[in-house]
Structure 1
């Protein structure tokens, strides 16, 4: 099966790569993908369940990072003609939130895969707003057997 062309901004195709459904989908674009990285984008909508006082919350940013990792696994599975994997955040460490994006602002997240074996991913994430890093974290995610 042929991989979707990037950048990918087809909502149904993205939903097919991750285990989330509206209103929990926090990705609207896959910008780039390779064997150790994925870059995703998300424009903060006015009806997001992760808004507080007009800003996207810390929990929203961390969930967006985790969904970016899920998109990496889903895109990888698609390349192998497999179903997307279901995973869970196992641990978050070194999470730093510098600034919260507002409604209509666009964030982009770069996920680097540090470790991927035996159903566990260790990832490093950086979220930017107009090339300014506004959040970073390291996470462990665990895939459902």
Structure 2
């Protein structure tokens, strides 16, 4: 794994305020590790918490960052991608709260461009709080 030298805005097709992940901690040829700091102003904060189902977007944006890093490293442009489906999504808590620091790991398990499949996991304090397999498409 190596550190990411790009700002998150340089590798995601999204624009604020819809950029939900804060930074890429490390990456390699098949994996990206990102982080999310839950604050009182986090998108989707309602009644003092972010619903855990927002995890799917943290995972999807981490996959988008993986694609963006690959594109930038190859001298290309960041392209739009789509979440096609998910299988076996499991949530280990109902919500996230201000002060929570989430670690998101996405790992490429199948690449048949333009389709790909990633195994994804989110931990909080080293405890698994969400996992899923996401199918994505990038035209």
TM-score by length of 1: 0.88
Deviations 1:36-61 (A, max 9, x none): 11100010121223123222213421
Q: Which runs of 5+ in 1 are unaligned?
A: none
Supply the RMSD in Å over aligned alpha carbons: 1.5
Name the counterpart of 1:40: 34
Deviations 1:32-84 (A, max 9, x none): 10111110001012122312322221342110110000000000111101001
Name the counterpart of 1:140: 135
Shift of 1:7: 5.2
Name the counterpart of 1:129: 124
C-alpha distance in structure 2 between counterparts of 1:26 and 1:41, whole Å:
10
C-alpha distance in structure 2 between counterparts of 1:109 and 1:37, whole Å:
10
Shift of 1:30: 0.6
Name the counterpart of 2:20: 26
2:64 maps to which of 42, 60, 70: 70
Q: Does 1:82 align with 2:115?
A: no
C-alpha distance in structure 1 between counterparts of 2:91 and 2:47, whole Å:
17
Name the counterpart of 1:101: 96
| Structure 1 stretches of 4+ moved >4 Å | none
Q: Which runs of 5+ in 2 are unaligned?
A: none
Q: Does 1:6 align with 2:3?
A: yes
Q: Is the 8 A contact 1:23 1:48 kept in 2?
A: no
C-alpha distance in structure 2 between counterparts of 1:58 and 1:129, whole Å:
12
TM-score by length of 2: 0.91
